[in-house]
Every structure is written in structure tokens, then in C-alpha cells.
A = this chain, B = another copy of it.
Amino acid sequence: MKKWMRVLMVIICGLSLAVFISCTAVENDTATETFTAAETTVSSYAEDRALIEDLMARYMFALDWRDLDTYALTFTEDGILDIVGLKWQGREEIKTAIQGPATDADSEGNSNDGLYPATGRHNITNIVIKIDGDRAYGRAYWFHVGNDNPERSAVLNSYGHYEDEMVKVDGEWLFSKRIIYNEQMAEWIGSAENPSW
């Protein structure tokens, strides 16, 4: 074989190799991107909504079981808890604000005499969520049931709604602001305008 033929062969092999690497690279890229899509579906409404619904449910468990650390951690570091008129900012302030008694029974220290402890349960329904990148806006209903009576019978105590702002921090959704409206107190009721959209 002549010298120029060997040179030509080298060129062909080189080109083919380059194309092969290029194709392989595409294949790897594809695998990676598709995997990422399947794993996190980063910009999916469903994914963000699912995580926020979970946050809102964990908030309730922490609140009703007086797990104040977990409760405070559902807020961002500078998050705001606002019960219309009273407002707290930051996890420490929020924790202090809600660390009172869980039920009237506990505060009076006597209505539990001879009975198992009374409990109170906040429930969330009708969750509306709008996502805008790493920010989210929520509206939802809440109502409270409890059994702080001698029969430990279930009683509906109060209801209202939430107006929320959430932020995604390091992949985790947290409340940056939660406003709680309550229809059982004149000074805590919400606006007459639909707060949703």
C-alpha cells in the first residue's frame, strides 16, 4: 500500500471515530436528560403541587401534636406567620408564638381529670395552588375538630381559610408567608372578595 493510502485510512478512521464519539455523546446526553425528567420532572405542576400538599399536611401534624421544631421548619428562615393582627417572623419567633397550650383543657389543667388527654385537629381542604418557578401561591380551607369535653365527643370548633406564599429552597418547598383567617372572630375574618382565582 502506498503512503498516501495509509494517510487516507488514518483520516477515515479519525473521522469515523469523531462521529462515533459524537453519537455516543448524544446517547449519554439523552440518557441523562431523560433520567432527570423521570426523576424530578423539575418544572411539572404535579410535582410541585404534590410536594406542597405534603408540606401542608406535615404542618398540621406538627401543629396538633405540639411538635414545635417540625412546625417551625415548615417555614423559611425568615418566614411569616400572620393570624390577622398578630404577626411573627422567623422560626424562633414563630415557635415561641405557638408554644402555648394545645387545648383549653391543658391550659386550665383540670378538665382532663380522670380522662385521657383531649386532642384538637386542624384539617385542610380545597387546596388551590399556583406555581411560578420557585415561588408558589396557595389558598385553602381549614376547620378544627376537638374533644375537649367530659364525653370526649367529637365537636366542630372553628373554620377559616389560608392565604399562603411558598418558596422552593434547595429543592424543598417551605412557607414564606401563611395568613390564617378565622370565621369565628369578627377581627379575624377574611375579605368579602374571592381570595382565590
Contact = CB atoms under 8 A, between A and B. Distances in A.
A15 interface: yes
A57 B140 contact: yes
B22 A22 contact: no
A36 interface: yes
A72 interface: no
Contact of A70 (B51, B117, B144, B197): B197
Interface string A116-151: 110101111111110000000001110111010000
Interface string A67-94: 1001000000000000000000000000
A169 interface: no
Nearest to A62: B194
A141 B117 contact: no
B157 A116 contact: no
Nearest to A65: B194
A41 B34 contact: no
A154 B147 contact: no
Contact of A4 (B1, B47, B129, B153): B1
Interface of A: 1, 4-5, 8, 11-12, 15-16, 18-20, 22-23, 26-27, 29-31, 33-34, 36-47, 49-51, 53-54, 56-58, 60-62, 65-67, 70, 115-117, 119, 121-129, 139-141, 143-145, 147, 152-159, 161, 183-184, 186, 189, 192-197
8 contacts: A19-B19, A31-B33, A34-B37, A44-B47, A54-B127, A65-B195, A66-B194, A154-B158
Given A30-B33, A66-B194, 12 more contacts: A1-B4, A4-B5, A26-B30, A30-B34, A34-B34, A40-B44, A44-B46, A56-B126, A58-B197, A62-B194, A145-B156, A147-B183
